[in-house]
Structure 1
Amino acid sequence: MKAKHQRLVLVGLAIAAVLAAVLLAMSALKDQAAYFYAPGDVARKGLPLDRAVRIGGMVKPGSLTRAPDGVTIAFIVGDETAATIPVRFTGIVPDLFKENSGVVAEGRFRPDGLFVADEILAKHDENYMPPRLAGERHETDSLQ
């Protein structure tokens, strides 16, 4: 076999190997992807029961309850539509998590409509400033 043909065969094998690696990575990531739904989306499209998803919205005021075990919480997530999603989470919640604040929860829907979260992420608005920095800012404002 000529050197030119050997190079062509090697290049072809390298391209096939890279393509196979990309396809394997894409199929692995497809199983790990979590789609994002707002309560209004769930109300329109129905419950996505077959996969892990993320939901997001605002924690409704007065909906946060804590179980006697100290680590399980239940709350309701809503958005600008009238749609709501009941959520249950067992674990430690972020410091920013509270009623009337933004939240993103990752988990699965049960057939009865309850969302069982595996992870809770608290959202803050674009004007958020850590309490430590906010205190320093007020001190510098009073000096001027």
Structure 2
Amino acid sequence: MKSHRRRRLTIIIFLFVGSLTTVLISIFALQNYIDHFYLPDQIVNGEVPLERKIRAGGMVKPGSVIHDSTGLGVQFDITDLNDVTFRVHYEGILPPLFREGQGTIVAGTLSEDGVFSARRVFAKHDEEYVPPELKGMQEHDDP
């Protein structure tokens, strides 16, 4: 084999091994920062790893929000279209768009007793946002 071909092959192999090593290190490092998303039926059916950071989403069940009498604690149920429900406990200030009957995503861990301990609560909202001032105007303009 000629020297320039050998040198080119060595460079290609070096670049391939270096790229592969970089990708593997990146994947290994990011594993701790990935939260898998689960639906309520997966949580209730036990398909979720316990005491591991996950995300879950669904609708806040109407009438299920209970605020602690002391502190910022709140408990509520998340449900899906099939009425599968699980309990969430959150300690903190809820987002302004959080309401019963609205969509929400919670990030946290699931304990052995089936209670989801949320460290973050995200309120989902309708993509057709209308400010309250304009909403009043639209109601008056409807024929």
TM-score range, shorter chain: 0.7 to 0.9
1:58–1:78 CA contact under 8 A, matched in 2: yes
What is the DSSP-based 3-state SS (H/G/I as helix, E as strand, rest coil) of the residue aligned with 1:107? strand
What is the DSSP-based 3-state SS (H/G/I as helix, E as strand, rest coil) of the residue aligned with 1:103? strand
2:107–2:118 CA contact under 8 A, matched in 1: yes
Question: Paired residue for 1:135, among 133, 136, 140?
Answer: 133
Matches within 5 A, 1:48-59: 48-59=49-60
4+ residue segments displaced more than 6 Å = none
Q: Can you list the C-alpha shifts for 1:13-68, whole angstroms capped at 9, x where unaligned?
A: 11111111111112223332222222112223444205211111111111111223
Matches within 5 A, 1:77-92: 77-92=78-93
Could you tell me which residue of structure 2 aligns to residue 104 of structure 1?
Answer: 105
2:60–2:100 CA contact under 8 A, matched in 1: yes
Residue segments in structure 2 that go unaligned for 5+ positions in a row: none
Task: Report the AA paired with residue 88 of structure 2.
Answer: V
Matches within 5 A, 1:1-144: 2-127=3-128, 129-131=129-131, 134-136=132-134, 139=137, 142=141
2:107–2:121 CA contact under 8 A, matched in 1: yes
In the alignment of these two chains, the number of paired residues is 139
Task: Report the AA paired with residue 32 of structure 1.
Answer: Y
Report the identity percentage. 32
What is the DSSP-based 3-state SS (H/G/I as helix, E as strand, rest coil) of the residue aligned with 1:4? helix
Residue segments in structure 1 that go unaligned for 5+ positions in a row: none
1:66–1:74 CA contact under 8 A, matched in 2: yes
Question: Within 1, Cα distance between the matches of 2:47 and 2:126?
Answer: 29
